[in-house]
Chain A
Amino acid sequence: MLKKRIVLTFPSSLVSQPITYHLVKDYDLKFNIMRGLVTPDEEGRLVLELSGNKNSLNEGVEYLKNQGINVESLAHDIKWHENKCTHCTACIPACPTQAMSVNRDTMEVSFDKEKCIACELCISICPFKALVITF
């Protein structure tokens, strides 16, 4: 069983389509919606964690791409620019998954991509624009 976190960006024409249903029924994939932003008549964005066997995952992602959906790995989603970070810790209470954390001895901030669900709550909170969305 493999896991893959992906960011889907789909055009307004696909917003009303039951995309995730097909991932379950046709490709035997489990999905966990980490974040969704779907507005009628506009673009939609969905952050999914997919789990299944390797072939199913690849075929499922291929199916999504064939539907005209832009598929990106979540790892590329939120980027922490360490050189811009002043380690002020303003982002710490905003992060719901402790992806942003602080070492209480050094009082330095670090970012764990694996824990990030791309909720974007930190983006507008950072006064130094050290956290950015890369898509």
Chain B
Amino acid sequence: MAKTVIEINKKIKEGKAVVVTAEEIIDIVEKKGVAAAAKEVDVVTTGTFGPMCSSGAYFNFGHTKPRIKIGGGSCTMNDVPAYTGLAAVDVFMGATACQDGDPKNSVFPGAFKYGGAHVIEDLVAGKSVALKASAYGTDCYPRRELETEIKLKDMNEAVLFNPRNCYQNYNVAVNLSDKIIYTYMGTLRPRLANANYSSAGQLSPLLNDPCYKTIGIGTRIFLGGGEGYVVWQGTQHNPNVRRGENGVPEVPSGTLAVIGDLKKMSSEWLRGASFTGYGVSLTIGIGVPIPILNEDILKHTAVKDEDIIAQVVDYSEAYPQVKPGSLCEVTYAELKSGLITVKGKNVQTGAMSSYSKARKIAELLKEKILKKDFYLTDAVSPIAGVGSDVSIKMLNEKPLKNKEL
């Protein structure tokens, strides 16, 4: 019964494609079985809406008259510094960049009210931002200073680029110490007062294609309300980890690097996030369609929250000090119930990623495909899979040979 992406796209064009979400496929498989479901269903849509610090956007502002070479100079947008080590009017705004003058954690815990992610969100919302730049001046780019209001529509290019997103499973963070801690997994109150997780579980893209059989370089995706593409495996991609019988990793594993036109995105699906005592991050909605090319691919899309295991990790000591091991394992069904048991204690759960938004993304992507607004792509090349030589390493620190450099 093997299908191809070309055949599926033909069915989409003819209005005959059967498209369901990663939640709906669970019931279908339970009622009809894998073989019948794989024959009937053409596409399963997934979704996730969570914070990811490894996010940002690059811009080309358009040249000034006379010309200025911001490259090698300095640049801020709403007083948040952008990276200028590029060409004359190209800059990169990273999500975690802090506004100039932000006390950060010198007044602990810092509020991190506005940063790079908020600049990107404001631009997407159509707001004007204050662009300031200074340059050293050259014969071909004589201008030294620039101050102007700028909107997204004024720019030549505005491209979201996330070196890492869509984490395939993630830790559940708790605090075993006697004092409150502030982390990228939110505020963790002492003595196991809360447990925070961050994955859409059964809706999450890479948990529905755990061995990267369809998701690869060139996969077209829903990104921040617009369209984007998977361009590479994400940073810290770690495919060779412990996996269950269903192929699903039981620890943080695969990641994706994604890109898309910021001008077509919407602030409903792209939001700056401020984590008290930690910093700024960008929360973005991603939806990945999975073409049902065979029964094996379909079987994996029917994964349920109760079959996905996450590790509970102490963020007061084990995580910062890189001590291996976890306190216990829980399933996403338990996490989503609002209560888990850790060391014999009932602990309330909270999430960093929004399941209701993930569900809406999967539904939205399904509607787009049914309306013939979105066609699937074959991956140009797979990302590093199970058995590849790719793994995550710690930094091997070495003393500097020449400290004068």
**A contacts, CB < 8 Å to B:** 86-94, 102, 104, 106-108, 124-125, 127-129
Does the CB pair B271–A86 fall under 8 Å? yes
Our pick among B276, B351, B353 for the contact of A125 (Cβ within 8 Å) is: B276
Give the residue of A102, A106, A124, A128 whose beta carbon is less than 8 angstroms from that of B187.
A124
Inter-subunit contact B337/A91 (CB<8 Å): no
Q: Is B364 an interface residue (CB 8 A)?
A: no
Q: Is the CB of A86 within 8 A of B337?
A: no
- CB-CB contacts of B263-279 with A at 8 A, as 1s and 0s? 00000000101111000
Across the interface, A93 reaches (CB within 8 A) one of B113, B194, B356, namely B194
Which residues of B sit under 8 angstroms from A89, Cβ to Cβ? 349-351, 354-355
A87 to B360 CA separation, bound complex (whole angstroms) = 12
B161: interface (CB < 8 Å): no
- B356→A127 contact, CB < 8 A: no
Give bound CA distance, A104 to B356, whole Å.
10
Please name 9 pairs of A and B residues whose Cβ atoms are closer than 8 Å in the assembled complex, sorted by A.
A88-B353, A90-B350, A91-B350, A93-B189, A94-B194, A104-B337, A125-B186, A127-B281, A129-B113
Q: Which residues of A contact B195 (CB under 8 A)?
A: 93
Are A127 and B274 CB-contacts (below 8 A) given A86-B354, A92-B350, A94-B187? yes
A67 to B276, CA, bound (A): 37
Contact with A along B189-223 (1 / 0, CB 8 A): 10001111000000000000000000000000000
**Chain B CB within 10 Å — which of A88, A107, A124 has the most?**
A88
- Report the count of interface residues on B (CB-CB < 8 A): 34
Is B376 located at the chain interface by the 8 A CB criterion? no
Set of chain B residues within 8 Å of A93, measured between Cβ atoms: 189, 193-196, 348-350
Residues of A within 8 A of B348 (CB): 92-93
What separation, in Å, do the CA atoms of A93 and B195 have in the docked complex? 8
Query: Which residues of chain B from 342 to 364 have any CB-CB distance to chain A below 8 Å in the complex?
Result: 348-357, 359
The 10 closest A-B pairs by CB, nearest first: A93-B194, A93-B348, A127-B273, A107-B355, A124-B276, A87-B356, A107-B356, A88-B354, A93-B350, A89-B351
A94 / chain B contacts, CB cutoff of 8 Å = 187, 189, 194, 350
Q: How far is the CB of B358 from the nearest CB of chain A, in Å?
A: 9
A123 → chain B closest CB, angstroms: 9
B142 within 8 A of partner (CB): no
Q: Contacts A93-B193, A124-B187 given; indicate if A88 touches B274 (C-beta within 8 A).
A: no
Q: Considering residues B113, B336, B337, which has the most beta carbons from chain A within 10 angstroms of its beta carbon?
A: B336
Asked if B109 is at the interface of the complex by the 8 Å CB criterion, the answer is yes
Of A106, A128, A129, the contact of B356 (CB 8 Å cutoff): A106
CB neighbours (8 Å) of B111 from chain A are 124
Contact in complex: B354, A127 (CB < 8 Å): no
Rounded to whole Å, the gap between the CB of B329 and the closest CB of chain A is: 20
Point out which of B113, B196, B337 has the most chain A C-beta atoms below 10 A from its C-beta: B196
User: Are A90 and B336 in contact, with the CB atoms below 8 A?
Assistant: no
Q: Check B283 for interface membership: any CB of A closer than 8 A.
A: yes
Closest-CB distance, B188 to chain A (whole angstroms) = 10
Q: Contact between B356 and A108 (Cβ–Cβ < 8 Å)?
A: yes
Q: A124-B187, A127-B283 are in contact. Are A90 and B337 (CB under 8 A)?
A: no
* B51 interface contact, C-beta 8 A: yes
Among A104, A107, A125, A128, which residue has its beta carbon within 8 angstroms of that of B359?
A107
Give bound CA distance, A93 to B50, whole Å. Answer: 18
Q: State in angstroms the CA–CA spacing of A128 and B356 once bound together.
A: 16
Q: Does B49 contact A (CB under 8 A)?
A: yes
B338 within 8 A of partner (CB) = yes
Contact B349 A90 (CB under 8 A): no
Inter-chain contact A90/B274, CB cutoff 8 Å = no
CB distance from B193 to the nearest CB of A (A): 7
- Bound Cα distance from A51 to B187, whole angstroms: 36
Chain A residues in 8 Å Cβ range of B50: 88
Given A93-B350, A108-B356, 5 extra CB contacts under 8 A? A87-B356, A92-B349, A125-B187, A127-B51, A127-B273
Pairwise interchain contact A107-B336, C-beta atoms closer than 8 A = yes
Residue of A nearest to B283 (CB): A86
CA distance A87 to B349 in the complex (A): 14
Please, how many angstroms separate the alpha-carbon atoms of A104 and B351 in the complex? 13
